[in-house]
Amino acid sequence: MNYRHAFHAGNHADVLKHLVLSRIFALLSRKEAPFAYLDSHAGVGLYDLAGDQASRTGEWLQGIARIWQAEAHPALLDDYLGVIRQLNPDGTLRYYPGSPELARQLTREQDRLQLNEKHPEDGALLKDNMAGDRRVAVHRGEGWHVPRALMPTQEKRVVLLIDPPFEQADELSRCVTAMKEALGRMR
């Protein structure tokens, strides 16, 4: 496995994914009942856009940088951009939240996060980045096993993110299979 999310953090696809996740968290938080967030291919959770990997590709310049520099934003972006502002309090865009950090920041005390990252280095970094939050469990196994290994959850409501590297030709069909398995395992 060669994929490292840091090369692609903050690109246009990442921004779209994170905007959708932010809205899902906001909508689920309208009810008091807890929910679980499961991420099968989590990455490290927090990215330095000035770091070696992100600056090598510069993909974030056509993604989050364009939104960050815009003069006005729709209100629906407030939660998402609020997390990014917290990470960059001086107003200079340097740090970008991956899905795990976004979930950690936008979920509530009663919600639970189950994060999985297969890449050994990235899994260790994810564990370090999430240390100290008792709501978060980090697993370091095969992402395709997440539905079988972590579902059903004690929570009746679940957000399952399956975002593999798409390096193998069969990964889209594996996403469909994993989602069907997940739906079959939940109440």
Name the burial class of residue 132, with classes exposed (0-12), middle (13-18) and buried (19+) by CB atoms within 10 angstroms of its CB. Answer: exposed
Could you report the per-residue pLDDT of 18-40, keeping only the tens digit for each?
A: 999 999 999 999 999 999 999 99
**CATH of span 5-185:** 3.40.50.150
Q: Is 52 a catalytic residue?
A: no
pLDDT for 17 beyond 80: yes
Could you report the per-residue pLDDT of 117-176, keeping only the tens digit for each?
A: 999 999 999 999 999 999 999 999 999 999 999 999 999 999 999 999 888 899 999 999
Q: In the prediction, which pLDDT does 45 show?
A: 95
**Overall average pLDDT of the 32-50 stretch:** 97
What would the two tokens of residue 5 be? 């999310």
Calpha distance 101→107 (Å, rounded): 10
What would the two tokens of residue 92 be? 């200079």
Could you report the per-residue pLDDT of 55-92, keeping only the tens digit for each?
A: 999 999 999 999 999 999 999 999 999 999 999 999 99
Closest CA to 20 of 83, 94, 99: 99
pLDDT for 41 beyond 70: yes
Domain residues of the chain, as ranges?
5-185
Looking at 14, 39, 122, 163, which residue is catalytic?
163
Q: At what angle do helices 78-87 and 12-28 cross, to 10 degrees?
A: 110
159: left (phi over 0), alpha (psi -120 to 50) or beta: beta
pTM recorded for the entire structure = 0.93
Element (H, E) at 53: helix 52-57
Calpha distance 111→77 (Å, rounded): 22
pLDDT for 2 beyond 70: no
Q: In the prediction, which pLDDT does 168 show?
A: 87
- What Å distances lie between residue 103 and 79, 81, 113, CA to CA? 11, 13, 8
